[in-house]
Amino acid sequence: MGTPFVHLLQTPYGYYLYDVNTDLIYGVEEHIYNALRLLKDGKEALLSETEIGDINKLRDQGLLETKRPIRMKHPLSDRMGYYLSKKIEGISLQVTQDCNFRCHYCPYSQGENSSTRKHAKRSMPFEIAKKGIDFIQCRSRDAEKVRISFYGGEPLLEFELIRKIVSYSKNVFEGKPVSYNLTTNGSLLTREKIDYFEENGIQLAISLDGPKEIHDASRVLAETGGGTFDTIMKKVLLLEKEYPRYLRNKVIFISIIDPSRDFDCVNSLFFNHAALKDVAVVTSVVDDSNSTEKNRLSPQFLIQQEYDAFKAFATRLGWMERDRLSSITLHKMDNLVSFERTYGTHSIYDEMSHGGPCIIGAGKLFMDVDGNFFPCERVNETNGAMRIGNVKDGFDMQKVDKLLNVCQLTEDMCKDCWAINNCAICPKNIDDETGLSIEAKVALCADEKLRVEQLMRGYIAEKEILERCMA
């Protein structure tokens, strides 16, 4: 009969199968669910004739296909030459490696506890920046628009360099839409700088980790070690008072959450503070991939986070008003919305990849102060495997292909993995300083399957509740 390519899920209210080939979730009767478990476990001989008949009925409906990929290969592998010569969508410039903060969780601040580079008083020469702009200008002809980002360190330490780059890029990209964004700790914002950013439509991403006791526990000044919350909030209040439209339309806040702390306390700032009530907030948990100090997850944090997710869920069902939720809570709906947007759109092909790698170099190209290229700003800059070229010599296509086809590290596992359509394992997360690690990728698989299953359970729960409300 063959082993169907499916994943089984059970909730308090029903039994379900996720059919990988159709990329859809179906409700089934309990006896069919149990029969499918036997079939998946290779115990076909234990099935009754009735159970076999029920399984065959599902197959007659186009379900329970056994088809799996034959080869693991990213579908754009053979077109990367085109993308990297004509369709680069932007570049992120590391204008400096220096920073006036020493955030405890930042890998650049952690000294011996970090495997990546350290903060350094090194900035990008304008000539290197110009070469980077010229490089993508002639390689973005088929891109509808281009994005230029400024990154650090703290990029506002090099405000004059940023102004020169923006002026230069406007001349170079005349006739093509260009957007600009800048990631900052916010401490160096002034009226002059905000006026300039507003005038040029530059989007700001400001780091703010929660109320004073949370923020100041991690985000401290380099010179004194003192807290930075009060300084940042003065800048936020300046934005609210004198640039309210810019604050609401061109500023987002990045909140890095320490899972050992009180989640509700973090959330409270964005819910209760008037200046932050309607701002855009992006959240993520502290990234410990390049640190020897790993996250500690408290049970209370999990409980609070799950309750927060429930509130977001209730809002989707119309049970709670959006204005009763913080920006962080609203952001938590994005993952489920993203899952639903692509639900049912995937297919299984003879040659395919799991969903993790982006289009290496074309979407989030990062250039460091020396002109070296990396897939994005989040990778380890000291690892040669992540260095995919430089502004002088162009791309190292062999490295690009290896990162793009990270699926080939665990080919046999991936071909038989039910989460293949929704897997988000990125090369960044399997970097062990010497290169891409098979062991690290295998270790991530269980967590990634759990993440995908939680999304599916959220989708199912919403449907179950709606059905009961309408009954």
What is the band of 257 on the pLDDT scale with cuts at 50, 70, 90? confident
Q: What is the pLDDT of residues 44-71, one digit of tens each?
A: 999 999 999 999 999 999 999 999 999 9
Predicted confidence (pLDDT) at residue 316 exceeds the cutoff of 90: no
- Rounded to the nearest integer, the mean pLDDT of the chain is 89
pLDDT class of 463 with cuts at 50, 70, 90 = confident
Q: Is the pLDDT of residue 327 over 90?
A: no
Q: How confident is the model at residue 23 (pLDDT cuts 50, 70, 90)?
A: very high
Q: How many CB atoms lie within 10 A of CB 244?
A: 11
| 3-class DSSP state of 279 | coil
- How much is the pLDDT for 210? 87
356 or 77, higher pLDDT: 77
**Torsion-angle region of residue 253: left (phi > 0), alpha (psi -120 to 50) or beta?**
beta
pLDDT value at 176 more than 70: yes
The average pLDDT across 117-127 equals: 94
- The residue among 310 and 364 whose pLDDT is bigger is 364
Strand partners, 148: 91, 180
Note whether 220 and 227 are within 8 A (CB): yes
Give pLDDT tens digits for 335-379. 777 888 999 999 999 999 998 778 999 988 999 999 999 999 989
Mean pLDDT over residues 217-242, rounded?
Answer: 96
Q: Which pLDDT band, with edges at 50, 70 and 90, does 269 fall under?
A: confident
Lowest mean pLDDT among 124-138, 248-262, 336-350: 248-262
Query: What is the rounded CA–CA span in Å between residue 176 and residue 53?
Result: 61
Q: How confident is the model at residue 1 (pLDDT cuts 50, 70, 90)?
A: low
User: pLDDT at position 159, please?
Assistant: 98
Rounded mean pLDDT of 399-422?
A: 96
Task: Show the tokens assigned to 168.
Answer: 């230069």
Higher pLDDT, 302 or 165: 165
Helix H or strand E segment including 365:
strand 365-367
Distance CA 200, CA 165 (A): 12
Mean pLDDT along residues 127-133: 98
Q: Name the 3-class secondary structure at 122.
A: coil
Task: Measure CA 407 to chain center.
Answer: 18
Contacts for 437 with CB less than 8 Å, ≥ 6 apart:
430, 431
In the sheet that holds 14-19, the strands lie side by side as 6-11, 14-19, 24-28
Q: Which two tokens stand for residue 403?
A: 């990162």
Rounded to an integer, the average pLDDT of 394-420 is 96
Is 301 a residue whose pLDDT tops 70?
A: no
Instruction: List Cβ neighbours of 406 (8 Å cut-off, separation of 6 or more).
Output: 356, 357, 425, 426, 427, 430, 436, 441
For residue 69, CA distances in Å to 46, 343, 421 come to 28, 19, 11
Name the residue with higher pLDDT: 358 or 411.
Answer: 411
Query: Does residue 297 register a pLDDT over 60?
Result: no
The predicted model gives 90-110 an average pLDDT of: 92
- Set out the domains of the chain in order of their start, with CATH numbers: 6-67 (no CATH), 77-342 (3.20.20.70)
Asked if the model's pLDDT at residue 290 lies above 60, the reply is no
- Please tell me the predicted confidence (pLDDT) of residue 263: 63
Mean pLDDT of all residues in 32-44 = 94
Q: State how beta strands 351-352 and 280-285 pair.
A: unpaired
Distance CA 199, CA 403 (A): 38
- CB contact burial 377-407 (16+ within 10 A = b; e otherwise): bebbbebebbbbbbbeeebbeebbbbbbbbb
Are 429 and 380 in contact, with CB atoms under 8 Å apart? no
CA nearest 414: which of 339, 346, 351? Answer: 351
Confidence of residue 221 (pLDDT cuts 50, 70, 90): very high
For residue 295, pLDDT beyond 60:
no
CA angle in degrees (0–180, nearest 5) for 395-399-404: 105
Is there a contact between 239 and 248 (Cβ–Cβ < 8 Å)?
Answer: no
* Least confident segment among 34-38, 302-306, 440-444: 302-306
Report how far apart, in Å, the C-alpha atoms of 324 and of each of 271, 304, 327, 333, 353 are: 8, 16, 10, 14, 41
What kind and span of H or E run contains 120? none
